[in-house]
Structure 1
Amino acid sequence: MYRAYGDVEALAEAYPMMRRWVERVERVAASDRHPTRAKKHAEWREHDRYLWDTGFQWGEWTEPGVQWDPRGDFGIVATAYFARSARILADTAEILGKRDDAVRFGELSDRVAAAWRAEFVDATPKSAQSGMRLTQPTQANYVRALAFDLVEPAQREDAAARLAELIRKNGCRLSTGFLSTGLLLPTLADAGYLDLAYQVLLQPKEPGWLVMVERGATSIWEEWDGIDAEGRPHNSQNHYAKGAVSTFLHEYVAGIRPAAPGYTAVEIAPSPGGGLSNCQAILKTAAGLIDIAWTITDGVFRMRGETPQGTPTTLRLPDGGVVETVGGRFSESCPLPEATDISK
């Protein structure tokens, strides 16, 4: 809400609940351990108090081919969100001028992230060339490792390469569920794997979004095979989670991003790929209408559009060019660089 509307009052109203939630998770994490972890380590270790691995957990939920077990250890998922929630709370405290809370919860987030690494990053890779590995090496866990800044800066390149490797081994198909699907494509793009992000987006085989289209869906399914190849339905035919791919469509394909809360400053930075030759998007913001369209013809990228008059706007072109405006209509073009993929 704050990112979209810049409404500090909304943050102030929510802050007491946000704080109580994080403090509750802090108590729960420090009070007990998952039975499998307690059995493996009879004595509490220093980082155990920051691992949230007890209580009822859904985990990633609806990962393709994964049978959910209510007794399972979902600590790698929940602890990641513990660190993330504490960081959001610290950032909110800073905005609201609660400096002591900002320091306290920022430090808590750092300690939880360190505990996550201590428990879930394999400290003994098979070889020096293999790089860092997670103890539970799923696409979803690598996405969170990157999106939530859980790994050290020096580990990010290895984590991104491992995520890309898992996707390619799966036929350039995703294997994410409710929690990480919306983060997958932006994470790939930000890590330098834009081409792979488009391959996943446009994947015609199950699991993938276009399978839903091909099978007649008019809404997003709960399961990737919400209607299977034989036409049999599974679970809900109208769920929100996997539709979070719209973030990638808006902020990367069209390139519309808030450069300040409430879109009081705007960045337009399209990332074309996947063989797409044109795109158009319109976003109604509290500051006014943002309209963007781009085309690719004969190797030339052409972009036109409009942002609210008086709104600082940064236009970023695919060739690296940057144009600063104060809103209003714009029209820019550049030669389209050849697609690159740092994994090659």
Structure 2
Amino acid sequence: APPNARPGYMTPMLCMSAGWGDAAILVPYALYKRTGDRKILADNYEMMQRWYGFLLGRAQQTTDEQQGGDYAKYTVLNGMDYGEWCEPGITPMQAMMNPRKSVGTAYLAYSGRLLAEVAEALGKADDAANYRDTAANAVKAYRTAFTENGVIKSDRQCEYVRAIAFALLGEDESKAAAATLNQMVIENGCHLNTGFLSTPFLCDVLAKYGYTDTAYKLLLQPDAPGWLYEVGKGATTVWETWTGIDENGKPHESLNHYSYGAICGWLFGGVCGIHYADGTLTIDPTPDKSLGWAKAAYDSPAGRIVSGWRYDGDAVTYEFEIPANLTADVTLPDGRKFTLAPGKHTV
């Protein structure tokens, strides 16, 4: 839900919750990265600032009794939060009554970093420096409050995914966290236990740190919680929960809810490897025999971008299409790197 959702009793809670309210920053930023249109940022800058000021204001309410140390005022422990929402094994009511306190601080760091980039793009150097400093302090606050010297202590996958994806850990710490996350997924029978906020990053984080096999096992998991469970039940829409229609055929919650459909981001950016931002195109597909073949077409502002691959035994054939007036820097899993001119290519 966007920060300015339609009227209703849910609207104030959605607007005030970290992650949901951060759409005020995340959506214009994403649109700008795709289009290069600074007017999107200029038109929405005041909104972005006001949301971030609200989130920082919640942190400023934190007392030393709640969180000691130099970074208490950058730790978000107050206000309404949904936590992860729809985590397997945690009911929505439990999520609302006992939200994950790490979420707000993580977004204070992440959104602050993006907002600094926005301010820089708009030529607001002082704002950019201020947001960078706040984001850096929020990272330190997160590490102080929710890790033990950079080591996460949790039995939930979301805590590892978010810390890695939002760059809240050092690189060696992220590698260790990714290894732990991979083991947690395996020990959970290659099922996820993430909710709305971290699921979009899960497979990407695993693949980035070398656990592509685990990412594909999650993608192709036929049992709940997993994406193919709903497909097996005949779903033509994405459900709000992993078991929107249970084994007894009983439906519950929304059966038309995009959030878990965010795996499509990894299908385009991970499986097929399409990355288009700031007018630059890179392609780095991650093929896997368990899927056999994949092909994605993205109608970008620069034109249609196509990336696909297919296994024939152990050999992989790649297919690319680059639009006019654009080149693509391609990296393949075997280490080959090359630049493709506009047109269709088979490698």
TM tier, smaller: 0.7 to 0.9
Greater RCO (Cα-Cα under 8 Å, separation 6 or more): 1
Distance, in Å, in 1 between the alignment partners of 2:201 and 2:214 is 14
Matching residue of 2:259: 241
Q: Shift of the alpha carbon at 1:142?
A: 0.4
Q: How many pairs align?
A: 315
Letter in 1 for 2:56: E
1:279 aligned onto 2:300 = no
Q: Distance in 2 between matches of 1:70 and 1:236?
A: 17
**Mapping for residues 1-12 of structure 1, pairs under 5 Å:** 1-12=31-42
User: Contact (CA 8 Å) 1:53, 1:74: kept in 2 or not?
Assistant: no
Letter in 2 for 1:58: Y
Q: Secondary structure at the match of 1:45?
A: coil
In structure 2, the gaps of 5 or more residues are 1-30
Give, as a single letter, the amino acid of the residue that structure 1 aligns with 2:205.
T
Unaligned runs of 5+ in 1: 124-131, 333-344
Distance in 2 (alpha carbons) for counterparts of 1:108 and 1:137: 29
1:233-272 correspondence to structure 2 within 5 Å: 233-258=251-276, 260-261=277-278, 264-272=279-287
Which residue of structure 2 aligns with residue 318 of structure 1? 333
Q: Which residue of 2 aligns with 1:87?
A: 113
Counterpart code for 1:163: L
Q: Report the TM-score, using the length of structure 1 for normalisation.
A: 0.87
User: For the structure 1 residues 297 and 107, does the alpha-carbon distance in structure 2 shift closer, same or farther, using more than 3 Å as the test?
Assistant: same
CA distance in 1, matches of 2:307, 2:184: 34
Rg comparison, structure with higher value = 1
Question: What corresponds to 2:44 in structure 1?
Answer: 14
Give 1:140's aligned residue: 158
Q: 8 Å contact 1:310–1:328 — kept in the other structure?
A: no
Distance 1:167 1:274, change over 3 A: farther
Is residue 329 of structure 1 aligned with residue 344 of structure 2? yes
Pair 1:220–1:73, CA change in 2 (3 A): closer
| 1:43-122 correspondence to structure 2 within 5 Å | 44-67=68-91, 68-122=94-148
Q: Residue type of the partner of 2:222?
A: P
Query: Equivalents in 1 of 2:243, 2:155: separation in Å?
Result: 23
Q: Does the 8 Å contact 2:327/2:341 carry over to 1?
A: yes
CA distance in 2, matches of 1:70, 1:324: 49
Match of 2:313 in 1: 298
Deviation, 1:69, is 4.8
Contact 1:202 1:274 survives alignment (8 Å)? no
- Cα deviations across residues 139-168 of structure 1 (Å, max 9, x unaligned)? 011000100001122311111111112111
TM-score by length of 2: 0.87
Q: Say if 1:9 and 1:314 are closer, same or farther in 2 by CA, change over 3 A.
A: same
Displacement of 1:28: 1.6
- Does structure 2 conserve the Cα–Cα contact (< 8 Å) formed by 1:202 and 1:209? yes
Amino acid paired to 1:88: L
Larger deviation, residues 206-215 vs 282-291: 282-291
Aligned to 1:172, the other structure's residue is in SS state coil
**Within 5 A, what are the aligned runs for 1:127-166?**
133-166=151-184
Match of residue 226, structure 2, among 194, 198, 208 = 208
- Superposition RMSD on alpha carbons, in Å? 1.7
Identity of aligned residues (%): 37
Shift of the 137–112 alpha-carbon distance from structure 1 to 2, 3 Å rule, reads farther
Aligned to 2:53: 23
Structure 1: 4+ residue segments shifted above 3 A: none
Equivalent AA in structure 1 for residue 131 of structure 2: F
Residue 140 of structure 1 contacts residue 177 of structure 1 at CA under 8 Å; is this kept in 2? yes
Secondary structure, counterpart of 1:133 in structure 2: coil
- Which residue of 180, 187, 195 corresponds with 1:177? 195
Q: Per-residue deviation at 1:4?
A: 1.8
What is the rounded CA distance, in whole Å, between the counterparts of 2:344 and 2:227 in structure 1? 34
Question: How far apart in 2 are the matches of 1:300 and 1:73?
Answer: 47
Distance 1:246 1:319, change over 3 A: same
